[in-house]
């Protein structure tokens, strides 16, 4: 396109605008308190429109649209009122000949009917939700056994060589990124397990994977590289039905409210993921598929950790059953690197929660029935997982202990025994009376989801919690026969 000279004639559009145009206006104080109505055909005029008008006039109680043209002698103003509780006033005409009172009333009546259709169209659009976006599933490409072992050995060896060597450490970070993006979960998992006896190399490998998730770099088609940070809002809720759904398109409406509440600079990116991640979903892939999240979101698509169609069918079948459950989950969001300092997020956490909770509830309720819900403060990704899981474990255990202690005469009469359950990535805690072998209540205590879940840290956290409560804890080790 070329620029126009200052004295050039402006070409008109090939079509006429809509006969009635409704809109807002702003002044020095911000958004004005009245909408505006423009009538683009003859007689052309602009007027103000306000609602909640209860002016009395003959015929107000009549069924259907009833209206009247009134004259305000004190203000010397012509006013149109109707039984839709709407008022039009401050008429400014642009034709040489102004309409009669009857002609103007007929035009305003037609405008009110259009206004009703406009609001119905808005309501229909809101009910339909945002336009569906493309769903992209992360690759799952298991390697043949020989190739996998070769890749595992190479990755582990790179971790050994990178200990204490910054240059090799940068190369290791790139290798870990490629391993996670390739889609064979076993490569990284087996590599870090093979380094259990070499804690320095293993920790370097695990930290590289965590950084790949928490601080993603996205290469765009134009060659530019965008640096992001992954944050999350921990979200806990209860359900009386079976199954949990995970994709909530209306969460997109949270982006502006959350960015404003956290004072993210106007030109910086903050994108909410409409995909909610539960503990089970994170544990299934050991958080490795999260490395796909930033590129997918940056491309304007939604990330699907599971096949959407089969997952929806499973959910629809499960929701018909009665299965009370408590669910811990996380709502991820991407922030441009450096746009949200942690200290500012902590300072504005309450404001962020107040702005976010109604929108989160609306988005989830549009797709899935749930009971009570609790939203936690936004935190960087790994901190959000740790703090959310810590709070959730304590809440579930605390409720069970309180109920049992009330029925058995006090917390001092209880003791606990825990056994690690690999299938739930955590411990099953059995509560019983001291001196008794019968388990009175069972509560799961889950490890924090991670690329390499820390079983020992999970045990220490459980022991510290029960020690604070004054409940003795012992560990039961499963025996294989």
DSSP 52: -
pLDDT higher than threshold 80 for residue 357:
yes
pLDDT digits (tens, 9 = 90+) for 25-36: 888 888 888 899
Closest to 277 in 3D by CA, of 422, 138, 143: 138
pLDDT digits (tens, 9 = 90+) for 205-237: 999 999 999 999 998 888 889 999 999 999 999
Whether residue 240 contacts residue 205, with contact meaning beta carbons closer than 8 Å, is answered with no
For residue 481, what pLDDT band results from cuts at 50, 70 and 90? very low
Residue 117: is it exposed, middle or buried by C-beta count within 10 angstroms (0-12/13-18/19+)? exposed
Number of residues in the chain: 481
pLDDT digits (tens, 9 = 90+) for 87-120: 999 999 987 778 999 999 999 999 999 999 999 9
pLDDT higher than threshold 70 for residue 480:
no
Q: What is the pTM of this model?
A: 0.77
Q: What's the rounded Cα separation, in Å, for the pair 75 and 55?
A: 16
DSSP 351: H
DSSP 100: P
Identify the residue with better confidence: 160 or 16: 160
Give Rg (Cα) of the chain: 31
Collapsing DSSP states into helix, strand and coil, what is residue 277? strand
CA distances from 372 to 324, 364, 385, 457 (A): 12, 12, 20, 29
Give the Cβ contact number of residue 435 at 10 Å. 7
Whether residue 450 contacts residue 286, with contact meaning beta carbons closer than 8 Å, is answered with yes
Cα angle value 393/397/402 (rounded, 5°): 150
Q: What are phi and psi of 198, to 5 degrees?
A: -125, 75
Give the pLDDT score at 433: 92
pLDDT digits (tens, 9 = 90+) for 335-353: 999 999 999 999 999 999 9
Task: For residues 443-458, give the mean pLDDT.
Answer: 95
Peptide bond into 43 cis (omega under 30): yes
Q: What's the rounded Cα separation, in Å, for the pair 453 and 434?
A: 32
Give the pLDDT score at 63: 85
Distance of CA 131 to the CA centre of its chain: 16
Give the Cβ contact number of residue 428 at 10 Å. 17
Q: What's the rounded Cα separation, in Å, for the pair 138 and 125?
A: 31
Mean pLDDT of the chain: 91
Q: What's the rounded Cα separation, in Å, for the pair 361 and 131?
A: 19
For residue 14, what pLDDT band results from cuts at 50, 70 and 90? low
Collapsing DSSP states into helix, strand and coil, what is residue 418? strand
| Residues with Cβ within 8 Å of residue 448, at least 6 apart in sequence | 385, 386, 389, 390, 454, 457, 458
Query: How many CA atoms does the CB half-sphere of 476 hold within 13 Å?
Result: 13
DSSP 438: S
pLDDT digits (tens, 9 = 90+) for 394-439: 999 999 999 999 988 889 999 999 999 999 999 999 999 998 889 9
E runs forming strands in 365-422: 373-375, 379-380, 414-421
Task: For residues 321-338, give the mean pLDDT.
Answer: 94
pLDDT digits (tens, 9 = 90+) for 372-397: 999 999 999 999 999 999 999 999 99
| Residues paired with residue 375 on neighbouring β-strands, in sequence order | 235
* Structure tokens, 367: 């797709």
Q: What's the rounded Cα separation, in Å, for the pair 297 and 336?
A: 12
Specify the residue for token string 């599971």. Answer: 306
Q: What's the rounded Cα separation, in Å, for the pair 248 and 234?
A: 15
- H or E segment and range at residue 138: none
Give the pLDDT score at 478: 63
Specify the residue for token string 């979903």. Answer: 281
Whether residue 451 contacts residue 188, with contact meaning beta carbons closer than 8 Å, is answered with yes
pLDDT digits (tens, 9 = 90+) for 274-319: 999 999 999 999 999 999 999 999 998 999 998 999 999 999 999 9
The 3-state DSSP composition of the chain as helix, strand, coil percent (nearest 5) reads 40, 25, 35
Specify the residue for token string 């012509």. Answer: 78
Q: What's the rounded Cα separation, in Å, for the pair 413 and 399?
A: 16
| Residues with Cβ within 8 Å of residue 64, at least 6 apart in sequence | none
For residue 123, what pLDDT band results from cuts at 50, 70 and 90? confident
Cα angle value 446/452/458 (rounded, 5°): 30
Cα angle value 206/279/415 (rounded, 5°): 100
């Amino acid at each position: 396109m070329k620029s126009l000279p200052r004295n050039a004639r402006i070409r008109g559009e090939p079509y006429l605008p809509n006969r009635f145009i409704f809109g807002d206006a702003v002044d020095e104080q911000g958004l004005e308190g009245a909408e505006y109505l423009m009538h683009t055909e003859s007689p052309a005029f602009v007027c103000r429109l306000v609602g909640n008008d209860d002016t009395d006039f003959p015929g107000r109680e009549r069924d259907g649209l009833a209206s009247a043209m009134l004259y305000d002698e004190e203000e010397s103003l012509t006013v149109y009122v109707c039984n839709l509780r709407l008022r039009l006033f401050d008429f400014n005409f642009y034709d040489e000949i102004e309409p009669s009172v009857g002609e103007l009333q007929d035009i305003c009546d037609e405008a009110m009917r259009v206004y009703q259709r406009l609001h119905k169209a808005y309501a229909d659009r809101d009910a339909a939700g945002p336009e569906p976006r493309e769903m992209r599933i992360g690759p799952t490409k298991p390697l043949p056994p020989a190739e996998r072992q070769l890749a595992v050995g190479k990755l582990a060896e790179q971790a050994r060589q990178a200990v204490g060597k910054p240059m090799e450490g940068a190369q290791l970070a790139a290798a870990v990124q490629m391993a996670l993006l390739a889609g064979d979960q076993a490569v990284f998992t087996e590599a870090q397990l093979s380094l259990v006896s070499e804690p320095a190399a293993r920790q370097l490998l695990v930290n590289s994977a965590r950084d790949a998730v928490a601080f993603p770099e996205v290469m765009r088609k134009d060659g530019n590289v965008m640096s992001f940070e992954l944050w999350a809002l921990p979200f806990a809720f209860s359900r009386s039905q079976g199954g949990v759904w995970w994709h909530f398109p209306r969460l997109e409406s949270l982006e502006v409210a959350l960015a404003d509440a956290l004072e993210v600079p106007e030109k910086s990116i903050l994108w909410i993921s409409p995909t909610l991640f539960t503990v089970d979903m994170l544990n299934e892939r050991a958080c490795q598929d999260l490395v796909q999240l930033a590129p997918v979101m940056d491309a304007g698509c939604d990330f699907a950790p599971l096949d959407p169609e089969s997952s929806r069918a499973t959910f629809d079948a499960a929701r018909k059953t009665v299965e009370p459950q408590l669910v811990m989950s996380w709502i991820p969001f991407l922030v441009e690197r450096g746009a949200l300092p942690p200290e500012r997020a902590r300072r504005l956490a309450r404001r962020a929660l107040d702005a976010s909770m109604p929108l989160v509830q609306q988005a989830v309720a549009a797709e899935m029935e749930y009971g009570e819900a609790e939203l936690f403060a936004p935190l960087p990704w790994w901190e959000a997982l740790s703090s959310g899981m810590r709070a959730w474990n304590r809440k579930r255990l605390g409720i069970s202990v309180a109920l049992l202690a009330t029925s058995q005469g006090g917390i001092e009469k209880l003791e606990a025994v825990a056994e690690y359950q690999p299938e739930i990535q955590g411990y099953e805690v059995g509560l019983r009376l001291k001196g008794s072998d019968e388990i009175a209540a069972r509560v799961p205590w889950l490890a924090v989801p991670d690329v390499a879940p820390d079983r020992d840290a999970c045990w220490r956290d459980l022991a510290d919690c029960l020690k604070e409560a004054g409940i003795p804890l012992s560990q039961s080790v499963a025996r294989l026969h």
